[in-house]
Amino acid sequence: MVNKHPNTTGLLNHASKKKRETQYRVNEVIQLMVKEGQKINFNSVSEKAQVSKAYLYREPLIRKTIEDLRQQQEGIHDFKNVKRRTSDASKDVIIETLKNKLNLLKHKNKLLESENEHLKTQLKKDLGKVYENL
């Protein structure tokens, strides 16, 4: 009673159709993520495309695409690190300039304080002379 030649063409057709649809969905998600500038890795692609990470690793073309895009994005982040290091250098220059300005202002403050003391003593002397003349 067992069928020696089962008709599996419908099952095979459905499986291949499902595979094509899944590959299309994953590729669409990857293109959308690239367009939006989102971080691409296996976890984020699997969540957005609603497929398992195992599927992404198992499909060689999709796996290579994700790995290549991830590597390209790491290169972009390296550029950001260079920019950050450059901005750190500019911060150092700004800090040095502000330190110099602070030292100049401290010196000017000391000069003004000494001038103020001199004027106070001069005022006391002049007021003393005014009271003597009364």
For residue 85, the enclosing domain spans: 20-133
Instruction: Work out how many domains the chain is built from and give that number.
Output: 1
pTM of the complete model beyond 0.75: no
In a domain, 77, yes or no: yes
- DSSP letter at 59 equals S
113: pLDDT strictly greater than 60: yes
At 121, which amino acid appears? Answer: T
In a domain, 56, yes or no: yes
Rounded alpha-carbon distances, angstroms, from residue 107 to 25, 93, 94, 102, 119 = 70, 21, 20, 9, 18
- Strand, coil or helix: 6: coil
Mean per-residue pLDDT over the chain, rounded: 88
In a domain, 106, yes or no: yes
* Alpha carbons 116 and 106: distance in angstroms, whole number: 15
In a domain, 58, yes or no: yes
- Residue-wise pLDDT for 66-110, tens only, equals 999 988 887 765 555 666 666 777 888 888 888 999 999 999 999
Confidence of residue 8 (pLDDT cuts 50, 70, 90): confident
In a domain, 78, yes or no: yes
Phi, psi of 49 (to 5 degrees): -85, -5
In a domain, 84, yes or no: yes
* Alpha carbons 68 and 45: distance in angstroms, whole number: 14
In a domain, 6, yes or no: no
* Alpha carbons 81 and 124: distance in angstroms, whole number: 63
